[in-house]
Amino acid sequence: MKSNTKAHLAVLATNLLFGVNYATVKYITPSFIHPFGLNMARVLTALILFWILYLLKPTTFGIRKKDIPRFIICAASGVTINQLLFIKGLALTTSIHASLLSLGTPIFITFIAAWLLREMLTPIKLIGLLLGIGGATILILLKDNTHSGTDIVNGDILILLNAISYAFYMVLVRPLMQVYSPVHVIRWVFTFGAIMIAPFAWPQFASTDWTAFQSSQWLALAFVCIGATFFSYLFNIYGISVIGASATGSYIYTQPVFAAITSIIFLGENIDSYKIISALLIFSGVYLVNRRSVKN
């Protein structure tokens, strides 16, 4: 199998894992483990596995002193704030809402890059931003009668803030990726992130009643921590290294599809006309924001 084909399959698998992750998280939180406790489990598991990966294949160990502040900021935005907002928001809203609102990340990346890196904005990108905002607004304001969300408005807002936080991470981490290998960067980002998330998440993690977990809950927890965290990051890195960031990023459109299928089957969520309209607006916004201008 060609490396390009492998990379495309890896990236598709990443988004499949992310898509199924929405319903899986809601299956175990907050019923069996509190949201922040699940955050601690995800970050600790991924951190341990990333360092085991280093022991199996030692490469560069340390980081330059001048890069430490950027690593800390990336850890805060890409792990601590991002993870806390995502799991808490998902526990409150529905899987379909969360997966659609998470599509805002590429839009936010474009505008944060324009702000911090002085990248050019075009009228098309501004239209894309407005379409994305319109779709998100419809999702947040219109009532959803599904039973899988207990506080949809606040949950949706937390998911949007999570997307903004992750967008900052994606912009700020770029210079580090030019100096270190992607795996090395993520290993240290998770290291700093685990330290920062511990004061918020450790109490809920420590108070979890692990004896209440049956085999299905353990499988769900393993999927979230290993499949949708550790392997997803590895697959995504592999995809970026082979087919590039743009092609890898385009697969984000598949996440809501996978999330919707699993949520309808396992959580009893439904697809309404307003969700379809919201999805079309958000998809269009992401497409226009990431559309490259054609030069004659």
Per residue in 2-36, pLDDT tens? 778 888 898 899 989 999 999 999 999 889 999 99
3-state secondary structure of 283: helix
- Host domain of residue 137: 3-207+214-290
Residue 295 within any structural domain of the chain: no
Contact of 94 with 152, CB cutoff 8 Å:
yes
Residue 107 within any structural domain of the chain: yes
**In whole angstroms, what is the distance from residue 99 CA to residue 104 CA?**
10
H-type alpha helices, 32-181:
35-56, 68-75, 81-92, 95-101, 104-116, 123-141, 152-172, 174-177
Q: What is the mean pLDDT of residues 113-139?
A: 81
Give the pair of three-digit tokens for residue 144: 């959803």
pTM score: 0.83
Contact of 172 with 67, CB cutoff 8 Å:
no
Contact of 29 with 92, CB cutoff 8 Å:
no
Task: Report cis status (omega within 30 of 0) of the bond before 30.
Answer: yes
Number of domains in the chain: 1
Residue 296 within any structural domain of the chain: no
Place of tokens 């075009």: 122
pLDDT in tens, 59-87: 778 899 999 999 999 999 989 999 999 99
Residue 70 within any structural domain of the chain: yes
Residue 170 within any structural domain of the chain: yes
Q: What is the mean pLDDT of residues 270-287?
A: 83
Q: What pLDDT score was predicted for residue 231?
A: 93
Sequence letter at residue 105: T
H or E element in which residue 102 lies: none
Q: What pLDDT score was predicted for residue 70?
A: 95
Residue 245 burial (10 A CB sphere; 0-12, 13-18, 19+)? middle
- In this predicted structure, the answer to whether residue 278 has a pLDDT above a threshold of 80 is yes
- In this predicted structure, the answer to whether residue 295 has a pLDDT above a threshold of 50 is no
User: How many alpha carbons fall within 13 Å on the CB side of residue 66?
Assistant: 3
pLDDT in tens, 144-185: 666 566 788 899 999 999 989 988 888 888 888 888 888 898
**In whole angstroms, what is the distance from residue 82 CA to residue 271 CA?**
27
Residue 201 within any structural domain of the chain: yes
pLDDT in tens, 189-235: 999 999 999 999 999 999 999 999 999 999 999 999 999 999 998 88
C-alpha dist (Å) from residue 119 to 50, 95, 125: 33, 33, 12
H or E element in which residue 205 lies: helix 182-206
**In whole angstroms, what is the distance from residue 90 CA to residue 33 CA?**
13
**In whole angstroms, what is the distance from residue 169 CA to residue 154 CA?**
23
Label residues 73-101 b or e (16+ Cβ within 10 Å = b).
bbbbbbbbbbbbbbbbbbbbbbbbbbbbb
Give the pair of three-digit tokens for residue 284: 């269009």
- The torsion of the CA quartet 239, 240, 244, 247, rounded to 10 degrees, works out to 60
